[in-house]
Amino acid sequence: MITLAVETSCDETALCLYDSKKGPIRDVLLSQAKVHSPFGGVVPELSAREHTRNLLPLLELLLKDTSFDLKDIDFVSFTLTPGLILSLVVGVSFAKGVAFTLGKPLVPVHHLEGHIYSVFLEKTVEYPFVALIVSGGHTDLFLVEDFGRYRFLGGTLDDAAGESYDKVAKMLGLGYPGGPVIDKLAREGEPKYELPRPMIFSEDLNFSFSGLKTAVMNLIRKEKNFKVEDVASSFQEAVVDILVSKSLKALDKTGIKRLVVVGGVSANSRLREVLKEKSEELSFKLYIPHPRLSTDNALMIAYAGTERFKRGITAPMDINPEPNIPLEEFGKLWS
């Protein structure tokens, strides 16, 4: 089975062709980072405009590079939810147009489900496992019992971890996106500033990053001669401490010894380093995809879409995108 996958949930325009037996045929992705950089974050209207502008040229590039006849796909998989509604509208409309023109089925995918299964593109993970999804828009913990069976364990009550990276980077005048540049600077600095770890000792599995972000803002205002590298290092250590602590608590509460960490922030070098150390110390299996698969991409949508199609799950042609269907509800709805 071969699918064309479409991902436009935020500010990455991505397409791919994926063969269920042979794996990826080709994927293409166009980042909008330069478009949104002057604003220090994603502007929804600009994001939707860029998707509209980029999808057809990307499809032409994909087909040219592969010499693939689009009529040979078996179905179209696409991100239905969650995401920026205007961006989703563009991607869903594009997917429906291709499916209608070719007379092919549509298969909806939840964006977070795609992230979870990005690790399966490299290595199959035994069920059940705990998944930490950590990105610019999400910081959530799930118990994954099987494909389509998800139990929400906890999530952020305010900012997502990646969102905090972007906001702190903006405070420091580092541009957008903030994650990669703070990660780089943190390796050159020292975590010399004491910053809070909100909710790190709470018994639940929820997160909070707004207080940490505010503490960084206050630090910048009070310190006259701070080193950007030291602020970056101090901030990153706090974020990593929170993420690792809650992930370990989730493993302890569930009694599971398998942890999957996905989403854009999973590409962070310090987070990977600490989790690797903890997995060796505490004897649990750790799965983190290659950084290229950590950020938004169409390959993860293709894999999850293929698993849905194998189970006979398709969508009607009048389906419309939704800004935020909870993953656990989506799993029950499309099963």
| Same domain membership, residue 153 and residue 92 | no
3-state helix vs strand vs coil in the chain, percent to 5: 50, 20, 30
d(CA 42, CA 40): 7
Considering 288, 303, 324, which residue would you say is the last residue of a domain?
Answer: 288
CA 176, 182, 185, 189 torsion-angle sign: positive
Q: Do residues 274 and 324 share a domain? A: no
Share of the chain above pLDDT 90, in %: 91
Residue 271: closest CA among 240, 246, 299: 240
Element containing residue 261 per DSSP (H, E): strand 258-262
Span 171-216, pLDDT tens digits: 999 988 999 999 999 999 999 999 999 999 999 999 999 999 999 9
3-class secondary structure per residue, the chain:
CEEEEEECCCCEEEEEEEECCCEEEEEEEEECHHHHHHHCCCCHHHHHHHHHHHHHHHHHHHHHHHCCCHHHCCEEEEEEECCCHHHHHHHHHHHHHHHHHHCCCEEEEEHHHHHHCCHHHCCCCCCCEEEEEECCCCEEEEEEEECCEEEEEEEECCCCHHHHHHHHHHHCCCCCCHHHHHHHHHCCCCCCCCCCCCCCCCCCCCECCHHHHHHHHHHHHHCCCCCHHHHHHHHHHHHHHHHHHHHHHHHHHHCCCEEEEECHHHHCHHHHHHHHHHHHHHCCEEECCCHHHHCCCHHHHHHHHHHHHHCCCCECCCCCCCCCCCHHHHHHHCC
Shared-domain flag, residues 322 and 264: no
User: What is the domain count for the chain?
Assistant: 2
User: From CA 330, how far away is CA 324, in angstroms rounded?
Assistant: 10
Would the pLDDT of 335 be above 80?
Answer: no
**Based on the domain organization, do 204 and 270 belong to the same domain?**
yes
Please work out, in degrees rounded to the nearest 5, the angle formed at the alpha carbon of residue 148 by the alpha carbons of 147 and 152: 110
Same domain assignment for residues 278 and 205: yes
The token pair at 77 is 């998989």
pLDDT at residue 212 in the model: 96
Q: For residue 331, what pLDDT band results from cuts at 50, 70 and 90? A: confident
| Residue 333 predicted with pLDDT over 90 | no
Is there a single domain that holds both residue 283 and residue 323? no
Domain co-membership, 49 together with 192: no
Q: What is the pTM of this model?
A: 0.95
Domain encompassing residue 273: 125-288
Complete DSSP assignment for 274-302? HHHHHHHHHT-EEE---HHHHSS-HHHHH
For the cut 90, the answer to whether the pLDDT of residue 232 exceeds it is yes
Question: In terms of domains, do 281 and 147 share one?
Answer: yes
pLDDT tier at 136, thresholds 50, 70, 90: confident
Which pLDDT belongs to residue 36?
A: 84
> Nearest-CA neighbor of 298 among 25, 27, 110, 20?
27
Mean of pLDDT over the chain: 95
Q: Based on the fold, state whether residues 279 and 130 are members of the same structural domain.
A: yes
214 with 315, same domain: the answer is no
Q: What is the pLDDT of residues 85-100, one digit of tens each?
A: 999 999 999 999 999 9
Residue 213: the pLDDT is 94
Residue 43's pLDDT band, with cuts at 50, 70 and 90, is confident
Provide the pLDDT confidence category of residue 225 given band limits of 50, 70 and 90: confident
- pLDDT tens-digit readout, 262-273: 999 999 999 999
Whichever domain contains 170, its CATH number is: 3.30.420.40
Going by C-alpha positions, the residue among 255, 240, 247, 252 that lies closest to residue 209 is: 240
175 shares a domain with 105: no
The reply to whether 160 and 103 lie within a common domain is no
Res 33: pLDDT:
81
